[in-house]
């Protein structure tokens, strides 16, 4: 295999994918948005770097030229993925791209979610074009809750979704491993679409998994979905959650809660997003708050991995070990 281009290479899936491909001896070209991310990609094993905004034609053209295969994942804050996908199809056709793996989303048909609709539109574009394509549809990431890691260490698990909403989830590292497997055996996967789902779990059960891993109680609390637009709207929920957990709090855990409150004010770098991107994210959280998110076909991921996918309990134990040693 020659060069694989990975877009969003310093992102949640991009980083473990770069590492997984590099570990297999694959030449990885990373497309990142700045020099700080370029340094991260190099440490992860990328041997070629392209820096810039993928929405700029010249940046994307330079990244695709000379690549044999491509993994494309657009950042959440990009509102309209269509023009980027059209450009990739054009460049891929002209430069003879042999395999395009598109990072979609589970259940792109959910019309109430603009982010999902964008993915569905791209899938439709890819269905009628000449570049050999594989589509991956990952579920809600287990890692999303690590945005509130300091809170979790303090004994609280806040998130702008109901504590009882059933969420289909997947470990990002499993997604990356599955994607690497697709690249290593492309003939088996071209023209196919895979759901990447592990299990259904609500946040009360997630909090219990972290409590088991940490060795002390962790309480899930619901934040209003609008918290990303108005961080102060979370104050009563956090204070109420802390009050309920007060008997289990220690001075050290209180310090984690204070640090978490500071970090949460710009979770996911939300302050740099456009107003429309923030509104779309709030709409997504509002939907999850009321409806949750179903899993997809649970047979796809173990088939790609050749093993049982990572459970949420195993994920919690792994992350606690990594972050507290």
Q: Render pLDDT for 39-75 as a digit per residue (tens, 0 to 9).
A: 999 999 999 999 999 999 999 999 999 999 999 999 8
Q: What are phi and psi of 220, to 5 degrees?
A: -80, 135
- Give the separation between CA 113 and CA 119, rounded to whole angstroms: 10
Q: Express each pLDDT in 157-179 by its tens digit.
A: 999 999 999 999 999 999 999 99
Mean pLDDT of 289-303: 97
Q: Decide: helix, strand or coil at residue 170.
A: strand
| Pair 219, 241: CB distance under 8 Å | yes
| Pair 75, 118: CB distance under 8 Å | no
Residues in the chain: 325
Higher pLDDT pick, 274 / 27: 27
- Give the separation between CA 105 and CA 13, rounded to whole angstroms: 13
Query: DSSP assignment, residue 224?
Result: P
pLDDT value of position 163? 97
User: Would you kindly state where each structural domain of the chain is located, as residue ranges?
Assistant: 4-131, 141-168+198-293+310-325
CATH architecture for segment(s) 4-131: 3-Layer(aba) Sandwich (3.40)
Query: CB 240: neighbour CB atoms within 10 A?
Result: 12
What's the Cα-to-Cα distance from 83 to each of 11, 28, 42, 55, 119, rounded to whole Å?
21, 24, 28, 8, 12
pLDDT value of position 255? 77
- Give the separation between CA 62 and CA 43, rounded to whole angstroms: 22
**Whole-structure pTM value:** 0.90
Q: What are 232's two structure tokens?
A: 């102060």
pLDDT value of position 271? 67
The CATH code belonging to domain 141-168+198-293+310-325 is: 3.90.25
pLDDT value of position 277? 79
């Amino acid at each position: 295999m020659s060069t694989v281009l990975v877009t969003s290479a310093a992102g949640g899936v991009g980083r473990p994918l770069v590492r997984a491909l590099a570990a297999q001896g694959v030449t990885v070209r990373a497309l990142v948005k700045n020099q700080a991310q370029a340094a991260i990609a190099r440490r992860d094993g990328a041997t070629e770097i392209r820096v810039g905004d993928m929405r700029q034609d010249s940046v994307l053209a330079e990244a695709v030229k000379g690549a044999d295969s491509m993994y494309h994942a657009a950042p959440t804050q990009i509102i309209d993925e269509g023009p980027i996908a059209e450009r990739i199809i054009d460049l891929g056709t002209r430069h003879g791209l042999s395999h395009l793996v598109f990072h979609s989303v589970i259940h792109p048909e959910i019309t109430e979610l603009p982010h999902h609709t964008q993915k569905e539109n791209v899938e439709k574009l890819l269905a009628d074009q000449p570049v050999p394509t594989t589509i991956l549809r990952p579920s809600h990431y287990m890692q999303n809750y690590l945005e509130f890691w300091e809170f979790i260490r303090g004994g609280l698990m806040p998130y702008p979704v109901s504590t009882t909403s059933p969420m289909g989830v997947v470990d990002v590292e499993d997604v990356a491993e599955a994607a690497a497997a697709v690249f290593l055996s492309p003939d088996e996967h071209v023209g196919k679409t895979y759901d990447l789902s592990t299990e259904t779990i609500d946040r009360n059960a997630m909090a219990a998994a972290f409590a088991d891993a940490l060795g002390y109680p962790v309480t899930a609390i619901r934040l209003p979905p609008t918290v990303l637009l108005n961080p102060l709207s979370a104050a009563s929920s956090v204070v109420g959650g802390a009050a309920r957990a007060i008997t289990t709090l220690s001075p050290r855990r209180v310090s984690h809660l204070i640090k978490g409150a500071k970090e949460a004010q710009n979770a996911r770098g939300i302050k740099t997003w456009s107003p429309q991107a923030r509104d779309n994210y709030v709409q997504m959280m509002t939907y999850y708050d009321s409806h949750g998110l179903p899993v997809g076909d649970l047979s796809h991921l173990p088939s790609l991995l050749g093993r049982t996918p990572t459970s949420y309990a195993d994920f919690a134990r792994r992350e606690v070990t990594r972050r507290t040693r």
